[in-house]
């Protein structure tokens, strides 16, 4: 196509903006009304702070700074005028607790999704409400990641700070507040707070009463494609977006990422390897795991739900190895070495519990381990074992799907792990399914932009928008011999966690 960025803009008359407030940075993406990606830009966040082992905190104002930077950058790169943007969709890391005072100032750093300090608060909820009753009310067990446990921790350990709290937001919703002045949240992100009645898609009065949380602290709940706010004049000056531009409710990063990958109907499943790893399945009912190993959340599609299993340290496992033990090596170099090692990594196994674990163990005290090493093994064996261990951990979720009769018709890969041919092949062999990727692998920001497009009526439903916009790219088929081997290695992997528990107590 000829003509450069200005011609591209003139052809795309109704651009929408998607913003994803991630852990490592914020991303802004412009999508044209014809479905073409007009541009994207990112801005890094400061590295999250760990004041103690297992703690993780970030400064919400740093997210807002990065958001402004990313939005201005994508406008400049795409030559789209800020006053031409017709709607904004938001996504972001889930579960974080942003606490605001009566003047809407941040009370303390946000305790984010991977923080593990709230084990005692989880036990208190199980005693106060009852584990089975909590599952009945919220479709989920009490886990250290969820927002409610963070609120209880602050109340117990920082009473002076808690006394100042008047509003609670999640990360992307704090950015929405800075854009619009509104306190709002979507049903998908609210599902990860442990305060939502997921089946009824509203705050749970029973959970709030039992935990003594005032609902007036919580934002108003909307369906993901609903318009819930508009850009203020102050935010317009800071971002370049026209004042009055509508903002839809959006979705947490997992639901928005699933929209961007076309995971909209039962049978469609995604496996995403980012910092964490997630296996996500769309459902037409709130399918609750009675053992609490999976999350059951509202989907970003009105009247639809999803179930997902989470590996805390998926891509983080490889990043940790690179940063701590292979300084100076690139991911490409490491995976090239791993590709020279045969499947099974010559007996080396990796348990990816660097940040505790969610699915299937729900154990914040689990710790990682590399086992089976011999003097003949090199760096490539370790890297391959890490990649296989992450895939084994995600396979745990597929095993639970089978127990719960959650259909798996197709598997679509996303995140940084989907860009590695080796990791794609490993996943196909471990899952025993063909796996594919999408052409526009833009993650949650792309899904947020689709929600914005639906919000202003460019498509009548999220499903029709995804059918029009999401296109398959690569397909990787499982290899029968390697599937047999990976089944054997997975059996060995499942014995690691009990063995490690006997060591760590």
Which pLDDT band, with edges at 50, 70 and 90, does 35 fall under?
A: confident
What's the pLDDT score for residue 505?
57
- The number of distinct structural domains making up the chain is 2
What's the pLDDT score for residue 3?
36
Q: Is residue 288 part of a domain?
A: yes
Please say if the pLDDT value at position 315 is more than 90. yes
202 and 289 in a single domain? The answer is no
What's the pLDDT score for residue 442?
84
61 and 208 in a single domain? The answer is yes
What's the pLDDT score for residue 415?
86
What's the pLDDT score for residue 9?
39
Query: Which residues does the annotation mark as catalytic?
Result: 253
What's the pLDDT score for residue 440?
79
What is the span of the domain harbouring residue 375? 262-442+471-505
CATH code of the domain covering residue 245: 3.30.420.40
Q: Is residue 493 part of a domain?
A: yes
28 and 175 in a single domain? The answer is yes
How far separated are the first and last CA of the chain, in Å rounded? Answer: 62
306 and 241 in a single domain? The answer is no
CA 406 to chain centre: 20
pLDDT 10s digits, 465-504 = 999 999 899 999 999 999 999 999 999 999 999 999 888 6
Q: Is residue 452 part of a domain?
A: no
Using a pLDDT cut of 70, give the percent of the chain over it: 97
Between 225 and 8, where is the model more confident? 225
Instruction: State pTM to two decimals.
Output: 0.88
Average pLDDT over residues 139-144: 93
Put residue 455 in one of left, alpha, beta given phi > 0 → left and psi -120 to 50 → alpha.
Answer: alpha
183 and 301 in a single domain? The answer is no
118 and 37 in a single domain? The answer is yes
Helices 119-128 and 147-157, axial angle in degrees (round to 10) = 100
Mean pLDDT of the chain: 94
247 and 132 in a single domain? The answer is yes
Q: Is residue 466 part of a domain?
A: no
Q: Tell me the residue ranges of DSSP E strands in 129-274.
A: 167-169, 184-186, 196-197, 202-203, 220-222, 227-230, 246-248, 251-252, 267-273
pLDDT 10s digits, 217-247 = 999 999 999 999 999 999 999 999 999 999 9
Average pLDDT over residues 112-117: 92
Last residue of a domain, one of 214, 229, 254: 254
Average pLDDT over residues 57-75: 97
Q: Which of 38-52, 160-174, 260-274 has the highest mean pLDDT?
A: 160-174
140 and 25 in a single domain? The answer is yes
pLDDT 10s digits, 361-415 = 989 889 999 999 999 999 999 999 999 999 999 999 999 999 999 999 999 999 8
Last residue of a domain, one of 231, 254, 277: 254
CA 23 to each of CA 255, 311, 356: distance values in angstroms, whole numbers, following the listed order: 16, 16, 18
What's the pLDDT score for residue 7?
36
Q: Is residue 455 part of a domain?
A: no
Q: Is residue 458 part of a domain?
A: no
242 and 278 in a single domain? The answer is no
Spatial separation of the C-alpha atoms in residues 445 and 337, rounded to whole Å: 32
Q: Is residue 461 part of a domain?
A: no
| Cβ atoms < 10 Å from Cβ of 75 | 24
For the stretch 160-166, contacts whose Cβ atoms lie closer than 8 Å and that sit 24 or more positions apart, written own/partner, are: 161/99, 161/107, 161/108, 164/99, 164/101, 164/102, 164/107, 165/99, 165/100, 165/101, 165/107, 165/217, 166/100, 166/101, 166/102, 166/217
What's the pLDDT score for residue 8?
38
What's the pLDDT score for residue 504?
65
CA 238 to each of CA 69, 93, 293: distance values in angstroms, whole numbers, following the listed order: 9, 23, 43
366 and 493 in a single domain? The answer is yes
194 and 272 in a single domain? The answer is no
98 and 42 in a single domain? The answer is yes
Average pLDDT over residues 108-133: 95
What's the pLDDT score for residue 101?
98
CA angle 324-328-333, nearest 5°?
100
pLDDT 10s digits, 241-289 = 999 999 999 999 999 999 999 999 999 999 999 888 999 999 999 988 9
Last residue of a domain, one of 235, 254, 273: 254
């Amino acid at each position: 196509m000829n003509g450069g960025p200005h011609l591209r803009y003139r052809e795309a008359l109704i651009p929408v903006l998607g913003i994803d407030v991630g852990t490592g940075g914020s991303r802004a993406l412009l999508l044209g009304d014809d479905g073409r990606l007009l541009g994207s830009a990112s801005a890094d966040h400061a590295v999250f702070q760990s004041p103690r082992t297992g703690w993780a905190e970030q400064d919400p104002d740093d997210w807002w700074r990065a958001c402004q930077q990313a939005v201005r950058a994508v406008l400049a790169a795409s030559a789209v005028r800020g006053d031409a943007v017709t709607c904004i969709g938001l996504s972001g890391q889930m579960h974080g607790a942003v606490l605001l005072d009566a003047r809407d100032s941040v009370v303390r750093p946000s305790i984010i999704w991977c923080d593990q300090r709230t084990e005692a608060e989880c036990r208190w909820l199980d005693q106060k409400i009852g584990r089975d009753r909590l599952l009945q009310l919220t479709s989920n067990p009490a886990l250290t990641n969820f927002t409610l446990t963070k609120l209880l921790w602050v109340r117990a350990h920082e009473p002076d700070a808690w006394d100042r709290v008047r509003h609670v937001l999640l990360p992307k919703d704090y950015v929405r507040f800075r854009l619009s002045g509104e306190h709002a949240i979507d049903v998908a992100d609210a599902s990860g707070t442990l305060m939502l009645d997921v089946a009824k898609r509203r705050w749970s009065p029973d959970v709030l009463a039992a935990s003594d949380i005032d609902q007036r602290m919580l934002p108003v709940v909307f369906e993901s494609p609903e318009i819930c706010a508009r850009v203020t004049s102050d935010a317009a000056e800071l971002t370049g977006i026209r004042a009055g531009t509508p903002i839809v409710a959006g979705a947490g990063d997992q639901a928005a990422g699933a929209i961007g990958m076309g995971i909209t109907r039962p049978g469609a499943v995604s496996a995403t390897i980012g910092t964490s790893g997630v296996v996500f399945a769309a459902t037409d009912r709130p399918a609750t795991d009675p053992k609490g190993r999976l999350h059951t959340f509202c989907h970003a599609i009105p009247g639809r739900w999803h179930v997902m299993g989470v590996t805390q340290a998926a891509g983080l496992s490889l990043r940790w190895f690179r940063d701590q033990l292979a300084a100076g090596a690139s991911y490409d170099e490491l995976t090239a070495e791993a590709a020279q090692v045969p499947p099974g990594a010559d007996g080396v196994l990796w348990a990816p519990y660097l940040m505790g674990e969610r699915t299937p163990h729900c154990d914040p005290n689990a710790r990682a381990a590399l086992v089976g090493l011999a003097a003949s093994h090199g760096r490539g064996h370790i890297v391959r074992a890490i990649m296989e261990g992450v895939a084994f951990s995600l396979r745990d979720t597929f095993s639970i799907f089978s127990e719960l009769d959650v259909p798996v018709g197709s598997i679509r890969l996303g995140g940084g792990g989907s860009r590695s041919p080796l990791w794609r092949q490993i996943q196909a062999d471990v899952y025993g399914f063909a796996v594919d990727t999408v052409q526009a692998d833009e993650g949650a920001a792309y899904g947020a932009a689709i929600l914005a497009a639906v919000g202003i009526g460019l498509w009548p439903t999220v499903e029709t928008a995804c059918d029009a916009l999401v296109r398959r790219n690569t397909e990787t088929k499982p290899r029968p011999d390697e599937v047999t081997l990976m089944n054997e290695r997975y059996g060995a992997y499942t014995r690691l966690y009990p063995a490690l528990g006997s060591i760590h107590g």
